[in-house]
Amino acid sequence: MFARLTIIRTEIDSISEASKLFEESVIPAFRTQKGYQGAYFLSDRNSGKSICMSLWDTEQDAVSNEQSHLYQEQLIKFMKLFTSDPYREGYELIIKDTK
């Protein structure tokens, strides 16, 4: 499994708006993509930093999501909320426990 993280910074007051946008737009869009396995939105309400994490069957599935431009279309929806440029990272998911 592969995890893609997009790290964003917003004003503290904008975290709720960003999380709602993630839930109502990003998740439904990603559900249509091959290999999608789920997503998480993590935030530090003291700093305005959030991590948007999506899980994919393979790294290629995550890359295909980006190449289809769906990832970029979703990211654009957040632009007015950003206080700095977002960046993304990818990781192989080695261990997963979901009790």
> What pLDDT was estimated at residue 13?
95
Residue 63 covered by a domain: yes
CATH number of domain containing 67: 3.30.70.100
Average pLDDT, the chain: 96
Q: How many domains are contained in the chain?
A: 1
Identify the pLDDT of residue 99: 86
How confident is the model over 51-63, as a mean pLDDT?
Answer: 97
The per-residue pLDDT for range 20-42, each reduced to its tens digit, is: 999 999 999 999 999 999 999 99
- What is each CA distance from 27 to 74, 94, 95, in whole angstroms? 10, 23, 23
Whether 25 maps to a domain, the answer reads: yes
In a domain, 99, yes or no: no
Percentage of residues of the chain with pLDDT beyond 70? 100
φ/ψ (deg, to 5) at 4: -110, 130
